[in-house]
């Protein structure tokens, strides 16, 4: 007489494990905001890589089919449905990775004019700023926001972008180049209190388009780090997001566009001071970082008073980020 589990009983136990795992994954997807940040900012860490839970969902479905457990198959369908509801539009309704804005600037989609904008962290250690500058100049965007500008590389970008973007403003390590005149350019203080060095990563300017003025903000929020001692370190990023959100809240112009490396994904609660005030451009996943194997979209275009209806990543440059482009309908 055997003390072990019979074949049927063993399958039943494994089936129940799959059921529990499926329900857990579905819960994490649907209620990710309920995961606390008390220990190691686990909530924000989960939200940063939330779309990748799709791989876990796929594995659960395969295992359930392999085990031939009806209960596990039904349970595995639950997180699949939740993931599809959250991200299915990005897979089936988004733009194709590496889309292009080449061949024009402002176009018309229906009755409303359209502004094409570009955002890129060019990397302060970029080995080929000239090549990056040429790629950005050829992209055909009306506005081009750049971060991690260095004094050595700045003249390279100015020279390459000037023919198509004769107007520009730079504050610290961020800048904006435009086809249309700019006015009232000034730094925006988003510096966390714990940073004592000379640090300026925010600016605001007015873009005088033929369709009315737009308040343009360029921002580079502090980086986040995963460390064994304190988990997912987002404190400076979150503090900077709060400061930027406060600046946006006082903006008097009806139309706003925010372009920046925000070092967070749209699901990350740390960016809620921004996502609660502006509408992000979203279509497809088009992850932007790291450029060699993109895992997350942390480079964003957001707007108020203009409808962002498309966004996509451009081919890699010498940076560790991919450029991000978007279209804004100015209705």
pLDDT in tens, 170-183: 999 999 999 999 99
Q: What's residue 283's pLDDT?
A: 62
Q: At 133, is the pLDDT very low, low, confident or very high (cuts 50, 70, 90)?
A: very high
Q: What's residue 158's pLDDT?
A: 98
Provide the 3-class DSSP secondary structure of residue 10: helix
Q: What's residue 90's pLDDT?
A: 66
CB 143 within 8 A of CB 207: yes
pTM (predicted TM-score):
0.86
Q: What's residue 96's pLDDT?
A: 34
Average pLDDT, the chain: 89
CA dihedral 277, 218, 179, 328 (to 10 degrees): -30
CB 117 within 8 A of CB 324: no
Tell me the average pLDDT across 34-59: 92
- For the chain, which residues make up each domain, given as ranges? 7-92, 107-329
pLDDT at 4 over 90: no
Cα–Cα distance measured from residue 195 to residue 200, given in angstroms and rounded to the nearest whole number: 11
Where does residue 40 fall: left (phi above 0), alpha (psi -120 to 50 degrees), or beta otherwise?
Answer: left
DSSP for residue 53 = H
pLDDT at 221 over 60: yes
CA dihedral 190, 301, 144, 168 (to 10 degrees): -40
> Quick one: which of 241, 224, 223 has its CA closest to 232?
224
Q: Report pLDDT digits (tens) over 106-116.
A: 444 456 899 99
Q: At 40, is the pLDDT very low, low, confident or very high (cuts 50, 70, 90)?
A: confident
pLDDT at 208 over 50: yes
Tell me the average pLDDT across 133-147: 97
Domain 107-329: give its CATH superfamily. Answer: Endonuclease/exonuclease/phosphatase (3.60.10.10)
């Amino acid at each position: 007489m055997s003390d072990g589990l019979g074949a049927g009983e063993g399958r039943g136990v494994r089936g129940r494990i799959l059921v529990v795992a499926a329900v857990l994954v579905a819960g994490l997807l649907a209620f990710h905001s309920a995961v606390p940040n008390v220990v190691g900012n686990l909530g924000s860490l989960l939200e940063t890589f939330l779309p990748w839970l799709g791989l876990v969902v796929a594995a659960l479905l395969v295992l359930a089919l392999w085990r031939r457990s009806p209960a596990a198959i039904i349970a595995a369908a639950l997180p699949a449905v939740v993931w599809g509801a959250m991200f299915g539009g990005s897979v089936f309704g988004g733009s194709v990775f590496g889309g292009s804005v080449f061949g024009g600037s402002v176009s018309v989609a229906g009755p409303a004019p359209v502004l094409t904008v570009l955002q890129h962290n060019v990397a302060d250690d970029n080995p080929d700023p000239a090549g990056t500058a040429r790629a950005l100049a050829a992209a055909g965007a009306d506005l081009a926001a750049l971060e991690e500008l260095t004094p050595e590389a700045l003249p390279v970008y100015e020279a390459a972008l000037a023919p198509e973007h004769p107007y520009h403003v730079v504050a610290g390590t961020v800048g904006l180049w435009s086809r249309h005149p700019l006015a009232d350019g000034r730094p925006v203080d988003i510096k966390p209190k714990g940073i004592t060095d000379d640090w300026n990563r925010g600016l605001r300017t007015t873009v005088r388009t033929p369709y009315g003025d737009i308040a343009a903000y360029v921002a580079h929020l502090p980086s986040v780090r995963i460390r064994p001692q304190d988990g997912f370190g987002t404190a400076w990023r979150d503090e900077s997001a709060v400061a930027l959100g406060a600046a946006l809240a006082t903006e008097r112009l009806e139309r706003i566009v925010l372009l920046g490396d925000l070092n967070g994904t749209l699901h990350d609660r740390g960016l809620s001071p921004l996502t609660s005030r502006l509408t992000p451009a979203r279509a497809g996943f088009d992850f932007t970082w790291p450029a060699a194997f993109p895992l997350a979209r942390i480079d964003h275009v957001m707007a108020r008073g203009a409808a962002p209806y498309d966004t996509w990543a451009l081919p890699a440059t010498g940076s560790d980020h991919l450029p991000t482009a978007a279209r804004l309908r100015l209705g």
